[in-house]
Chains A and B, each alone.
Chain A
Amino acid sequence: MNARNYLKEADEKYEYTRDYLEVLWGNLERIYLGKAMGMSINNTIGYRLKIPIIGRMIKWMVNKKLEKEKNPNPRIAEGHFGQVIPLEEAKLITTNLADVRIKALCPCRYMHRGIKVESCMGFTALAEVLPKLPRFIPENGLEILDSDKAEAFLNNMNEEGKVHTIWWGPIPYIAAICSCEYPECLGLRTRLDFGIKTVLKGEYIAVVNPNKCIGCGKCVSRCQFGAINFSSSINRPIIDAKRCFGCGLCKESCEEQAIRLVDRDEIPITRGMY
């Protein structure tokens, strides 16, 4: 478990957490299409990023701007910074660190598919902010979850094949844990389609144990990042470490426990590749 993942102290340190979250969640759609991602609503978004040299420059500028957000400005909620985490850490954060947990509607899926799914879990500060924003409130109202329910909810989302992600309010305060999917998630989409680092990779990398693997191929379809290939000549999957986000979905699906998560920093090639 990473030392960055703490809740209470960070909440007390930044007394503007609630203001920040209100601005951020209130204008989420605008921020996604707006200046933080280097995009505008005038239909020209992707083209600018795909132009060979100019696109690379824009990407570099935006990524630099996002990095700066580690010293957050309370009045300008700009990025929506997140990181992929495996199931165990998501459970640890929800059960041990959070005080109040509520279920909210996913704004990303509403934007991209027009459907209302309760797949986001907001914590203490966000739970105070969300009632002001009617867009995120489910039909039955905001439900407060106890730790058992929250754990069951996370297990359920994992079975459905959704990636757990933490979303920071002002960094390092964890405001929410979402269950994301490519291409519906705003953050994963900007990361994978346009190369803008709105979501960081997880702290781990999945590794296959060739002695335990029986070659059933269940893990291949679970990967949302295209990191797993099934090689029929050696009858086991190959994991591309450079593409792996360390979400652990493949690990949960493996009945033989042949996949384990290794610390990203232990492998020299992927050290610091977030």
Chain B
Amino acid sequence: MKKIKINIDYSKCITPENCRACINICQPVVFVLTFTDEDYHDPKNWKIVPIFPILCIGCNLCVENCPEKAINVLIK
């Protein structure tokens, strides 16, 4: 089983709710728009987190489509 690591650079990914490029393009839905620890009930402060790297097929579509080039996929 290959281990896949997906990193998102949050200094570049600033407006996830308006962009949504990666969550729309990903076929197995690896990314989830979810809460951060500080603000739970306000979706405006939510972040995109790669929560299911096990389902990633390594197609690199998210890397190519990210307008800020904030995503990095590592396949070991």
Contact = CB atoms under 8 A, between A and B. Distances in A.
A39 to B, nearest CB: 8
Interface of B: 1, 3, 16-17, 20, 23-24, 28-29, 32-35, 40-41, 43, 49-55
Contacts of B50: 43
A191 to B, nearest CB: 14
B34 A26 contact: no
Give the 6 A-B CB pairs with smallest separation, nearest first. A46-B54, A114-B20, A183-B29, A114-B33, A112-B29, A114-B23
A47 B54 contact: yes
Nearest to B7: A43
B52 A45 contact: yes
A46 B52 contact: yes
Interface of A: 26-27, 29-30, 33, 41, 43, 45-47, 49-50, 110-115, 133-135, 183-184, 189, 193
Given A112-B23, A114-B17, A183-B28, A50 B1 contact: yes
Nearest to A26: B41
Nearest to B16: A114
Given A50-B54, A113-B24, A114-B33, 6 more contacts: A30-B40, A41-B34, A43-B50, A111-B34, A112-B32, A184-B29
Contact of A29 (B20, B29, B35): B35
A113 B54 contact: no
Contacts of A184: 29
A199 to B, nearest CB: 17
B30 to A, nearest CB: 9
A260 to B, nearest CB: 33
A126 to B, nearest CB: 17
A193 B55 contact: yes
A135 B43 contact: yes
Nearest to A42: B51
Nearest to A133: B41
B47 to A, nearest CB: 11
Contact of B33 (A46, A112, A134, A183): A112
Contact of A110 (B43, B52, B55): B43
Given A30-B35, A184-B29, A113 B55 contact: no
Contacts of A189: 29
7 contacts: A33-B51, A45-B54, A46-B54, A112-B33, A113-B29, A114-B16, A189-B29
A214 B59 CA distance: 39
A114 B24 contact: yes
A154 to B, nearest CB: 25
Contact of B51 (A45, A49, A110, A183): A45
B32 A46 contact: no
Contacts of A43: 50-51, 53
Q: Which of B1, B17, B40, B43 has the most CB of A within 10 A?
A: B43
A120 to B, nearest CB: 16
Which interface residue of B20, B24, B49, B52 has the most chain A CB atoms within 10 A?
Answer: B52
